[in-house]
Structure 1
């Protein structure tokens, strides 16, 4: 074997070792990330946000008499703060848990909860995913703007194809288009009010919970 062949073999063995080391490092990072996401303290905080959001969701009220099923509450603010602090995974679990709990107190046969689940996915999960990749107050503003647009679009689609046809019947399409701007206005108010509460509480709660995590 020549010196050149020996050096090539040594380099290839070294490269293989480096690749194995990188793969092992990536696996360890994934494991540590998962264990960090589901640590006892983070799960406890997630449960606290879930319970608080469920309690606040009881304090709902209609904005427009003609569309009294569109009720405003401020539970999204608590869920959004939780998703920003704990990540989209635990944030998503909290969203689902709140809607499952609401099934025990509402009479919408699950339609309202599905609507809220879609709205929460738009206004809570999407912004928290954006925030995960770039943290900071400017990102909060950007993600809230994106979430607001997503919330309005998601609500329009769900009401057009599910809520109005299901509860009104054949006239659902006409009634929907007659009230489309009220639906847009309602979701804009919902997004702005919950977004404002999020911005007011975010920095204060973040400092407090960072000490606990």
Structure 2
């Protein structure tokens, strides 16, 4: 959601230009940009409370669309936007489930930052797709590591019990979750970028 050097790329600061997504990071902090960050953070907070079970075999694992908002912030505003939205969007959960919120933040950063960095350098559909695929891989690794080391601290389970769930439950759930986030983000990033540019 910064400048597009190809037909796919448009910047929030310039409707036509040849900058990359990182242009938003290099610009001055205007009132308008702070307002846009606040809007994305508020949206991420709101949708983080939407919980949809994806696997009948594991009803306690629930999907929420907040990752999509974090990824779109990375497209729109570069790494700074990805960090701000991925961290502040989960602040309410820190008061209810601090360890779970920390894990959610790590996963959101793992997905949105690769997207932001890659798309900043290559603001094309190929760059967007590459960022989404790499982000999904990093986020998957973060989710598995987080489950192994953080989940036992609050879920009254041993690391061995969690490890036994990785292949049959955690891996398919996270793959499905990141696939949904990636597909929706890829379909939405250009319209959102153009909307912000206006």
Query: 2:15: which partner in 1?
Result: none
- Aligned CA RMSD, in angstroms, stands at 2.1
Q: Distance in 2 between matches of 1:86 and 1:125?
A: 11
Query: 1:36: which partner in 2?
Result: 27
Name the structure where helix makes up a greater proportion of residues: 1
Query: 2:7: which partner in 1?
Result: none
- Secondary structure of 1:179's aligned partner: helix
2:111–2:135 contact (8 Å) kept in structure 1: yes
Residue 127 of structure 2 corresponds to residue 118 of structure 1: no
Unpaired runs of at least 5, structure 2: 1-22
1:83–1:125 contact (8 Å) kept in structure 2: yes
- Shift of residue 184, structure 1, vs aligned partner: 1.1
Residue 168 of structure 2 corresponds to residue 177 of structure 1: no
TM-score (norm 1): 0.74
Q: Distance in 2 between matches of 1:72 and 1:164?
A: 20
Unpaired runs of at least 5, structure 1: 1-31
Query: 2:48: which partner in 1?
Result: 57
Give the 4+ runs in structure 1 shifted more than 2 A: 32-35, 61-70, 101-104, 164-169
TM-score (norm 2): 0.80
Q: Distance in 2 between matches of 1:42 and 1:137?
A: 24
How many residues in Structure 1 have an aligned counterpart in Structure 2? 175
Highest relative contact order (Cα 8 Å, sep 6+), 1 or 2?
A: 2
- Secondary structure of 2:150's aligned partner: helix
Match 1:82 to one of 65, 69, 73: 73
- Secondary structure of 2:50's aligned partner: coil
Q: Distance in 1 between matches of 2:26 and 2:123?
A: 21
Query: 2:39: which partner in 1?
Result: 48
- Shift of residue 160, structure 1, vs aligned partner: 0.9
